[in-house]
Amino acid sequence: MTLKDKKILIIIGGGIAAYKTLDLIRLLKKNGAEIKTILTKSGKEFITSLSITTLTGTKTFESLFDKELEVEIDHIGLSRWADLIIVMPTTANFMSKLTNGNAEDLATTVILAADKDILLVPAMNVRMWLHKATQKNLEVLQDYGYLFVGPEKGEMACGEFGEGKMSSPRQIFVFLKNYFHKKNIVKDKNLSALVTTGPTREYLDPIRYISNESSGKQGYEIALALDKLGIKTTLIAGPSKFVVPKNIIVKKITSADEMLSEVKKTLPVDLAVCAAAVADFKPIQKNKNKIKKDKFNFESINLIKNNDILEFISKNNKSRPRIVAGFSAETNDIIKNSIKKLKNKHCDFIFANDVSKKDIGFNSDFNKISVIDKTGKIKSIKKNKKSLIANIIAQILLDKLIDDRNFN
C-alpha cells in the first residue's frame, strides 16, 4: 500500500534525532504523501527550515505569528488539513506540555485543536524515559488517545545504552502504512460491531431484583475504542450511567431477555464483544406488587436459567459475527475456568479478569486482563486504566478481523 494523497503534518521537536525527520519526509514523499511541517523553537537548534522546505516543497511553519505576512497562522486549519499529526522527536519536555494541555506556541495549539490522531515518537536519555514522571505522562497521554511508536533500545547520542532511542524512519513508515491500511479497510468495508455491557436486573417484584456489581465501564470503554477506530458500533447496555458519543448507537435494557432481544435485532455484525455481566438466573415469576415480609418465602425462590447470550451469538451459524469475544469474570482458577468457557461457548477470544479484588474489575476504573484466543495462546495485559485496556483489546480484535478476512 502507498500513502498516496495522505496528508501528514509533522511537528519537529528539539533533539539530536531531529535530523532523522528529513529521511522520513523523503520516504513519505516517495510514497505519495502530502507533507506540511512545523519546526519548534528547540527544533531549530538541530535542523533548518531550509532543509525541510527543500524536501517538502512547501513552507515550514515556525510560530503562531508570521512577521513577514503580519498574520496569525491558522492553527485550526493546519490541524483540520492533516489526516495524521506526527511529533518527532517527542522530548520529555514536550510530553509534559501535552499532559498538562499547554497551548503556548504553534505546535501545542495545533495539537490541542486537533480532531485527528496524533502520533508521538519519543526520543530521550534512558533515565529520562524511565523516570516516574515521564512514565506517568506516558500513561496519561495514552489515556488521552495519543499513539506511540518507540522508543527503542540502543546506543544513544550521549553514549549511554537503553530504552529511549528514537525509532528509525523506516519503523515509523511501516507503522504509518499499517495505520492507514487499517483505516482504509474499516472505511471501505463499513465494518460494524456490537458490544454488550453493564449488569442485568432480574426483578422479583417492582423493588427487589437479582443483579451484580458490574458498572459497565469496561464494555463502555471498548465501544468507545472501536468507534474511534472507525467501526460502526452498537452498545447494548444494562443499567449504567455513562454518557455515550452520538455516533455510537445505544440500546438500553434492563433484563437478560431484553438484552438478547436487542442482540438479535442488531445482528449481523462483523464483530461482537460480550462484556456484560448478565445475571445467570431469573425468577420464574415476577410479582406485580411488592412482596410483604410476612408473605415472602425466604427459604425458597424459584429460579430458572437465563439464555446464554455469548453462546447464542457464537453458535448462531446464520448470523455469527466473524469475531466473537467474551469476558470471563472469575474469583478463582481464573485461567482454567476461562479456557473452559472459551471452549464451551465456541468463541474466538475470552478476556479473563479477576473480580475478587477491589482495585480491579467491578466498580473500579482499573482492570487486569488475560487475553485467551481459541488456539490457547494467552497474552497478559498488566493492571491499567480500563480505557487503555479497551484500546489494546480493540486493536487485537481489529487485527484478527483483518487477518481472517485477508484484506489486500
Convert the pLDDT of each residue in 305-328 to its tens digit: 999 999 999 987 788 999 999 998
Three-state DSSP state, 372: strand
Shared domain for 248 and 379, answered yes or no, is yes
DSSP string, 24-41: HHHHHHHTT-EEEEEE-T
Q: Per-residue pLDDT for 72 more than 70? A: no
Shared domain for 26 and 62, answered yes or no, is yes
Shared domain for 282 and 397, answered yes or no, is yes
Going by pLDDT thresholds of 50, 70 and 90, the confidence category of residue 156 is confident
- Domain count across the chain: 2
Residue 1 in domain:
no
**Mean pLDDT to the nearest integer, 88-112:** 92
CA separation, residue 327 to residues 6, 40, 41, 80, 381 (Å):
37, 46, 48, 38, 14
Q: Per-residue pLDDT for 69 more than 60? A: no
Cα gap 314→347, rounded to integer Å: 6
DSSP string, 192-212: EEEEEESB--EESSSS-EE--
Instruction: Determine the pLDDT at residue 301.
Output: 78
Instruction: Determine the pLDDT at residue 398.
Output: 92
Instruction: Determine the pLDDT at residue 408.
Output: 47
CATH code for position 366? 3.40.50.10300
Which residues are identified as catalytic? 158
CATH code for position 120? 3.40.50.1950
Going by pLDDT thresholds of 50, 70 and 90, the confidence category of residue 79 is confident
> Residue 211: which domain range?
190-405
> Residue 212 has which C-alpha cell?
451484580
Q: Do 229 and 238 touch, CB atoms closer than 8 A?
A: no
The contacts of residue 187 (CB under 8 Å, 6+ apart) are 230
Residue 393 in domain:
yes
Q: Do 172 and 88 touch, CB atoms closer than 8 A?
A: yes
Shared domain for 220 and 147, answered yes or no, is no
Q: Do 307 and 260 touch, CB atoms closer than 8 A?
A: yes
Shared domain for 397 and 309, answered yes or no, is yes
Q: Do 276 and 259 touch, CB atoms closer than 8 A?
A: yes
pLDDT (tens digit per residue) in 191-211:
999 999 999 999 988 888 888
**Mean pLDDT to the nearest integer, 230-246:** 90
Average pLDDT in the chain: 88
Instruction: Determine the pLDDT at residue 159.
Output: 76
Cα gap 389→393, rounded to integer Å: 6
Place of cell 415469576: 285
Residue 2 in domain:
no
Closest-CA residue to 166 (of 133, 125, 128): 125
Shared domain for 16 and 162, answered yes or no, is yes
Point out the least confidently predicted range of 66-70, 132-136, 243-247: 66-70
Shared domain for 153 and 45, answered yes or no, is yes
Residue 147 in domain:
yes
Shared domain for 282 and 390, answered yes or no, is yes
Q: Per-residue pLDDT for 220 more than 90? A: yes
Shared domain for 58 and 146, answered yes or no, is yes
Q: Per-residue pLDDT for 298 more than 90? A: no
Residue 319 in domain:
yes
Angle between helices 386-405 and 169-189 (to 10 degrees): 70
Phi, psi (rounded to 5 degrees) for 267: -65, 150
**Mean pLDDT to the nearest integer, 320-347:** 90
